[in-house]
Structure 1
Amino acid sequence: MAQGRGSSGRGASGQGAGGPKRRSVRESGVSTSGTGAPSWKSTSGAAAGAKGTGSRSAASSGAATKTRKRFWNYPRRGKGPVLRWLPGWRFVLGTAGLGLVAGVLLFAIAYALIDVPEPDDIALAEGSTVTFSDGETPMGTFAEVDRDLIDTSELPEHVGAAIVASEDRRFYSNVGVDPVGILRALWNNLRGNDTQGGSTLTMQYVERYYTGQTSGYLDKFREAVLALKIDQQQSKEEILGAYMNTIYFGRGAYGIERASQEYFGHPATELTLSESALLAGIIPSPGNWDPAVAPDQAQARWERTLAFMVENGAITQAEADELEFPEVVEPERTDTYGGPNGYLLAMVRDELVAAGFTEDEIDGGGLQITSTIDPQLQEEAVVAAENLPEDTPDGVRVALTSIDNETGGIAALYGGPDYIERQRNAATQDNAQGGSTFKPFALIAALEGEATLETRYTSYAPMDIAGYEVNNFDSINRGYIDLVTATKYSVNTAYVQLNSATGPEALVDVAHRMGLPEDTPGLEGNLVNVLGTASPNPADMAEAYSTIATGGVHRDPYIVEDVVNAGGDTVYTGGGESEQVVDPQVMADATYAMTQVVEGGTGSTAAAIGRPAAGKTGSSNDYRSAWFVGFVPQITTSVAMYQIGEDGEEVSMVDGWGGVAPISGGSYPTDIWTEYMTAAVADLPVEEFPERSAPEYVYVPPSRPTEEETTQEPTEEPTEEETTEEPTEEETTEEPTEEPTTPEPEPTEEPTEEPTEEPTEDPTEEPTDEANGDPDGDAGLLGSGDSSGGGDASGGG
């Protein structure tokens, strides 16, 4: 009866077992006390008991509890504001237990289903093949597998002991998988130390001998299962022996026998303890730790291996202390790298390594690598670059880089005649002073500001500009000339004034945006940087001018089109995103000015390709380098030439060869460019460049140079026609029109050794590249003015 009264009393107050109470508890979400009432009602509940309502029976409480149970018990009742949202310990333990059971069950199923394959069923290490852009014409092969299988039981014991100490010190005690090693590697990596792997020696053997290169968690899981099974089926000696016969040691050598031959020149049975420690130490990254590449790192790995051998008890500390670092033989390049193609293969390899491929994958992964190099264009590039007179000095270097403007892919590249003889790429690794090839950067910087193509400057020489005495080689005063004329004839005085007005730092900024690296030697914000005192490499200049050709769209150049692995999957695609770095109309205007260089200026030889082209010549101070960089809408090509002396010093090309003296940008570099580009564009449609901005009327003030400042005083204010068209006979009587074969008259300021004989050709036209020996009008650019801060400030444009 007490129960009944209590129930009826609670029902009357709205707190009975009926619907109202259940709704209030669910809707409010508040926790309840042990009596079933909200905790903040516990006092009134006690009072009700004192009035005779009594407490609820266990059965009644149980019934109420059953009505509140839900599958999703969040937020949990009776818990604090944080704990109510956290799972209980029973739930955590239950979930963990369930996961453990599921993992064990999954592993048991996998262990039962995964069979150990025969090694012959799996392609072991296969060389990677590189083709030209057509995907068929072979360029070369990376490390055809060089392996000699031997009976490893005949090796000295210290060979295997060194490998075990370096790669898996718990090899003889683990079961193919080492949880301790995995946890140790994980903890080490989490602390930010040098990255470690948790693979055992057996797992590495499985990866190389049975499964090939693995990636992803599923592959690693399968690798672990196979390692466990193989550890049960084979002895430790068998596993270690197979490992030593298959592991990659660098230099194209797979297995301990080939490694011993490649590094020490003798069989593996003759390996000393010191030699064994070296080979074992470099296994994780043989390409980077080869003593011929990184001797300090190789020695550190050697010392590490010896220390672990002492720790393992394989040798004593006294034995380790007595050892000396072993001498290795120099690596030999195979014929694969012979000839000009060797430079291309080295570039392909470098790009893949930069993309994350390991040396082992490249040399033994069976990759099919397609390059961006067009086989026909590459052949034309080699022919053009090597088409020099027989008396060309041995130290002359020629570099050519040709880029597909639409993609940024390298279509052809000449880095030298033979990679084996000179393992330094003239196009990507050598630097040469750029000369007047830097003037377009100043022009672009000015056009981004207040200047237009009609902006004019005086052109007399010599001219003192901010302490620099600037010369034009031909010493002709063209009056006040616009930027088109200044570009066409590469007028130094006009361009230094332009650079002063715009700011030399603006030129540097443009050059970087176009593609020249931040660390380009000599690229600094000084007044004469417009004359090319910086020394880029030819490939970087091709990249920068390609940005002009594309209307200001920059793309990073690349040489690998794609990579397909042994399974037929495309695992890499070259090329990146493009970026608009300069306004297209600015580039259209700059391009127009550069077309005038080809159509009748310092690079007029290039007009022979028979279609719209733009470019710029360049000759450095004392003719130590000569350039022509030019483009059509589809292709950009740079050509650079320089000479190296017997001791590696730069040599002036002022005396020339082959009847040409001096060697300037408008001579052999433009000839090479024209020969190559004539073939390169033969099958391409003729495309026009974008229209330049509408010309603006500009008042032309009179020229004011004094008689001492110039060799020719203007007699009247120049008209538009006089400043933009070819000069009159009176203006051109000082210089010839064809390339001299004997020395010429010296300029106003003597920058180099210049000819002394007067030519006999009819001098009635504007001097060109061939006319004055300096097609760029820049090699004799500065007098005795201050040249600080400008690299070789007396160098030409």
Structure 2
Amino acid sequence: MGRAEDRRARQRGGHRAAPKNRRSSRAASQEGPTGPGRRRGRPGKSGKSGIRRLFTWRKMLGTFLGLCLLGIGGFILLYLLVSVPEGNAAAKLQSNVYKYSDGTVLVRDGEVNREVVDLARVPKAVQRTFVAAENKSFYQDNGVDLKGTTRGLLNTLSGKGAQGGSTITQQYVKNYYLSQEQTVTRKLKELVISLKVDRQMSKDDILAGYINTSYYGRNAYGIQAAAQAYYRVDADELTVEQGAYLAALLQAPSQYDWAAASETSKRLVKNRWNYVLDNMVEKRWLSASERQGMKFPVPKEPQGNPGMEGQTGYWVDAANVELARRLVAQGTAQDQDQALAMVKRGGWNLTLNVDKKKQAQLEKAAEDQFASKLDPKKRKVDANIQPGAVSVDPKTGKVVAMYGGVDYVKHYTNNATRRDYQPASTFKPVILAAAVEEAAETQDGEPITANTIYDGDSRHQVMDSGEKVGFAPPNEDDVDYGDVTVQTAMNKSINSVFAQMGVDVGMDEVMKVAGELGMDTEGMQAVPAQTLGSMGASPLEMAGIYATLDNHGKKVTPAVLASAEHKDTVVDLPDPVGDQVISRESADTVTSVLTGVVDDGTARRSVRDNPERDGQQVAGKTGTSDYGRSAWFTGYTPDLVTSVGLFGQDAKTGKQVNMAGATGTLPGKGRVNGGGFPAQIWAAYTFGVMDEVSKFDLDTTQGAAVKPTYTPTPSDEPTTEAPTSEPPTSAPPTSESPTRTPSQTPSQTPSQSPPSQTPSTEPPPSIPTTPTAPENPFLPDDER
């Protein structure tokens, strides 16, 4: 077929069969069983076209969009399921901060050294140092750094550890709501919660949470604890330079602590400090000129947190109890236990009334006058005596000094606040106060004043309307004094006189006045035996009673706390000085009489003759309880009231024991009495902190002030006859001395045998440490 035919065939729609040539023959020979057109060779070309069909750009884009939608859906579900939790317990823990009256820190007490402060208490420039250090976009971002979070997730999955780049919000969420563990789950929760927190909280609240929960090293959690740990200042006193260091410190607290840092670490933290300040200039939070003049603020050397040893623990416990009592009183807590739990939860900033100078002097007096003389290795009894003391400003009610025992970590019980020992004859002034306040009369109708005559014989039978009341307490060593004035009876601490006086006044009235003066009389029976001070009382309690007398009858409730602050709780502390509970004349009369105890009575050796007294006027009363188990001196000047007690307590069993033989320096058998060590401690302390000599301003028409109406002289032959049922004499006092005189001045603890027929000028011998006679429930005290 020629070319013309071929062309025509094409025009007709047909075609001429292609001639077989070598190439087409080879192709035909390669056809296999699968049919024509299917080639066996060139597999590479066939595979490539299959992959292209599988991974087309459309499929890849679709897959990517699907994964994105799946991720978004998963995140939406996660966002819906994950809620903002309660803050974890560890992040909420705070310490309680206890301060001296001058504002310096006494101690921080708690599991975590943290004190949460409001952001307003942190200078604005210091706030910005943390933003400049950690998250410059903090005020504009939505709380998360997606790039940093993604990097962190990849690092976690690959096992490379913690990531950087988290926002301040994320770090706050990690500190406050979550934990420090490095897991994908925790990081996803952190992302979701951070977004929610950023929407729910203001930036200021988030920043405050961040700087209050972060760890700064030196056991300091939060900016307030850090400011104290590194610069000994409160957060509101931090400078920009100091703030920049604390902000830089958060990157590596242990490594960047200047006190322990290597030269390399010091260089690194300085570089970061500069970085923080440069960022502040960049953000226009700091001028270039201000920045130029700043020098690196080298932190102070670390110091150990003051512990609870010594007297500190006693103060902390006393403050906690007082605060808890106020929380109950104002309805914040239902009972004392619940209130104490609230206090222990932490976060309290408590300022105490403790005066550094007076506290130091009281501790020194207790050590020098008593504790240093104890030697338990030589004398077993020396291990069984614990001192306690409280000092109160009568004009303000502030507890300015307190001694709770030898050491809080060695002797846990606070002897200044314990109420399980008898106050003994230190209760006698309360009886006199009740007598004067109630205008009471003797059984013969004579007004009771400082000059009223009473029968001072030992075991005088107490009478009420001509009837015996079944109470006849012995005097010290069974000494008979005959007719004596009330002033002399107070000076010599004559039991029989005050037992009768209590019945004359009416024991109900006595206990009522005791309660008004400040004694806790709940559950106490109004019985004549209480005239011996047989109830329980604490030095704190007795200091309050005598402070009310010193304050001319205006109620003084000793206050340990000056202020109590907590972020979530408002505490209203009442004025320690209250209303007039007894008349000024009544209170001043008792004060007048008590000056005689010091100048002509049982406290004269330790107080009147003290070379440091320098003419200072003093009123006070000694006391020694049954069997020598406690000894007291509670005394006061116009400006200071202090109650000191010694308490005999077996170091192993905790039982109350006789203190006789302590220190091995006392005369005779070594009886311990109120006019001895307690009065010595009192004098060394009071005269040691006295700024100037002061005088009492007394408004009274009775009382002998410094000198008693008369001083009895011992007779040659003291009376030893048995007590009679005759009532005390009703004769009014005269200027003449009564015909009956006391046999002698009491000594210091009760005797087990009748008094000697011929008294000596020296105190009679004391009883053995272990009595051989049956115990007498009304055994009197010595040098009370």
**C-alpha distance 464-368 of structure 1, shift in aligned 2 (>3 A):** closer
Q: Which residue of 2 aligns with 1:672?
A: 681
Q: Answer yes or no: is 1:708 the counterpart of 2:684.
A: no
Q: Does residue 349 in structure 1 map to residue 334 in structure 2?
A: no
Partner of 1:540: 541
Match of 1:131 among 99, 116, 124: 99
TM-aligned CA deviation for residue 694 of structure 1: 4.5
What is the deviation of 1:130? 2.2
Partner of 2:109: 142
Counterpart of 1:420 (choices 409, 415, 426) is 409
- From 435, 439, 454, the counterpart of 2:451: 454
Specify the alignment match of 1:553 in structure 2.
554
The answer on whether the counterparts of 2:553 and 2:584 sit within 8 Å (CA) in structure 1 is: yes
Contact 1:524–1:534 (Cα < 8 Å) also in 2: no
8 Å CA contact 1:662, 1:773 repeated in 2: no
Deviation, 1:495, is 1.5
Taking the TM superposition and a 5 Å limit, the aligned residue runs for 1:167-566 are 209=176, 229-230=196-197, 336-356=307-327, 368-387=349-368, 388=370, 389-391=373-375, 393-447=382-436, 448-450=438-440, 451-465=448-462, 466-473=469-476, 475-519=478-522, 523-563=524-564
Cross-structure match for 2:621: 616
Distance 1:206 1:561, change over 3 A: farther
1:596 aligns to what? Answer: 596
The 3 A distance-change label for structure 1 pair 614 and 500 is: same
> By how many angstroms is 1:334 displaced?
8.6
Alpha-carbon shift at residue 612 of structure 1 (Å)? 1.0
Alignment of 1:684-723 (within 5 A): 684-694=692-702, 708-709=721-722, 723=737
Gaps of 5+ in 2: 1-83, 115-171, 178-192, 223-303, 333-338, 377-381, 441-447, 463-468, 725-730
User: Residues of 1 paired with 2:200 and 2:478: CA distance?
Assistant: 88
Judged with a 3 Å threshold, the aligned counterparts in structure 2 of structure 1 residues 502 and 227 are, in CA distance, closer, same or farther, namely farther
**What's the CA shift string for 1:663-700, capped at 9, x where partnerless?**
011111111111111113x214513240431579x99x
**Which letter maps to 1:469?**
A
Task: From the superposition, tell whether residues 385 and 614 of structure 1 become closer, same or farther in structure 2 (CA, over 3 Å).
Answer: same
| Distance change in 2, residues 1:339/1:718 (3 Å) | same
Distance 1:571 1:373 in 2: 19
**Per-residue displacement from partner, 1:369-428 (whole Å, max 9, x unpaired)?**
321000011111112223321336112111100111011110101111222233321111
Report the CA distance shift for 1:693/1:619 in structure 2 as closer, same or farther (over 3 A). same
Gaps of 5+ in 1: 1-115, 148-204, 211-225, 256-332, 712-716, 750-755
CA distance in 2, matches of 1:509, 1:669: 28
The residue correspondences of 1:622-701 to structure 2 (distance < 5 A) are: 622-645=627-650, 646-660=652-666, 661-680=670-689, 682-694=690-702
Which AA in structure 1 matches 2:644? V
Q: Is this contact kept in 1: 2:98–2:352, CA < 8 A? A: yes
Q: Is the 8 A contact 2:110 2:346 kept in 1?
A: no
Residues 735 and 575 of structure 1: is their aligned pair in 2 closer, same or farther, counting only changes over 3 Å?
closer
User: Which structure's CA Rg is the greater one?
Assistant: 2
Instruction: Find the counterpart in structure 2 of residue 162 from structure 1.
Output: none
Partner of 2:259 in structure 1? none
Q: Deviations over 1:198-243 (max 9, x none)?
A: xxxxxxx999959xxxxxxxxxxxxxxx999429799xxxx9xx99
Asked whether the 8 Å contact 2:326–2:573 carries over to 1, the reply is no
TM-score (norm. length: structure 1): 0.51
Query: How far apart, in 2, do the equivalents of 1:571 and 1:718 lie?
Result: 55
Give the secondary structure class of the aligned counterpart of 2:97: strand
Match in the other structure for 1:303:
none
TM-score for both structures, normalised by structure 2: 0.52
Tell me how far 1:721 sits from its aligned partner: 6.2
* Cα distance in 1 for residues equivalent to 2:424 and 2:750: 21
| Cα distance in structure 2, aligned partners of 1:637 and 1:558 | 14
- Cα 1:227/1:455, change in 2 over 3 Å: farther
* Residues 140 and 678 of structure 1: CA distance in aligned 2, closer, same or farther (over 3 Å): same
Secondary structure of the corresponding residue to residue 470 of structure 1: coil
Q: Aligned AA for 1:423?
A: Y
Contact 1:538 1:640 in 2 (8 A): yes
Q: 1:554 to 1:478 in 2, by over 3 A?
A: same
Q: Which amino acid aligns with 1:464?
A: Q
Counting aligned pairs with the same residue, the percent is 28
Shift of 1:359: 7.8
Distance 1:579 1:747, change over 3 A: farther
CA contact (8 A) 2:473 2:778 kept: no
Give the residue type in structure 1 aligned to 2:685: Y
Residues 479 and 718, structure 1, Cα contact 8 Å, conserved in 2: no
> How far, CA to CA, are the matches of 1:684 and 1:550 in structure 2?
19
- CA drift of 1:525 comes to 1.1
Change (3 A) 1:372 1:721: same
The one-letter amino acid paired with 1:690 is: L
* Preserved contact between residue 473 and residue 772 of structure 1 (Cα < 8 Å): no
Q: Which amino acid aligns with 1:659?
A: T
Q: Find the aligned partners of 1:575 and 1:542 in 2 and give their Cα distance.
A: 17
Map of 1:743-758 to 2, 5 A cutoff?
748=754
Contact kept? 1:436, 1:490, Cα under 8 Å: yes
RMSD: 5.0
Q: What letter is aligned with 2:312?
A: N
**8 A Cα contact 1:745 1:757, kept in partner:** no
Amino acid across the alignment from 1:336 = G
- Tell me the matched-pair count: 473
Could you say what secondary structure the match of 1:391 adopts?
coil
Deviations along 1:316-352, one digit per CA (max 9) or x if unpaired, are xxxxxxxxxxxxxxxxx99621221111122223333
Structure 1 residues 616 and 773, CA gap change in structure 2 (3 angstroms)? farther
Query: How far apart, CA to CA, are the structure 1 residues paired with 2:631 and 2:697?
Result: 26
Separation of aligned partners in 1, 2:695 and 2:733:
33
Closer, same or farther in 2 for the Cα pair 1:560/1:689, shift >3 Å? same
Query: SS at 1:397's partner residue?
Result: strand
Determine helix, strand or coil for the equivalent of 1:376: helix
Alignment partner of 1:463: what SS? coil
- Say whether the 8 Å CA contact 1:744–1:757 is kept in structure 2: no
Say which SS state the counterpart of residue 440 (structure 1) adopts.
Answer: helix
Question: Counterpart amino acid of 2:680?
Answer: D
Indicate if the aligned counterparts of 2:477 and 2:746 stay in contact, CA closer than 8 A. Answer: no
Could you give the per-residue CA deviations for residues 47-69 of structure 1, whole angstroms, max 9, x where no partner exists? xxxxxxxxxxxxxxxxxxxxxxx
Distance 1:458 1:655 in 2: 33
The 5-angstrom pairing of residues 58-69 of structure 1 reads none
Deviations 1:622-670 (A, max 9, x none): 1111111111111111111111112111111234433222101111111
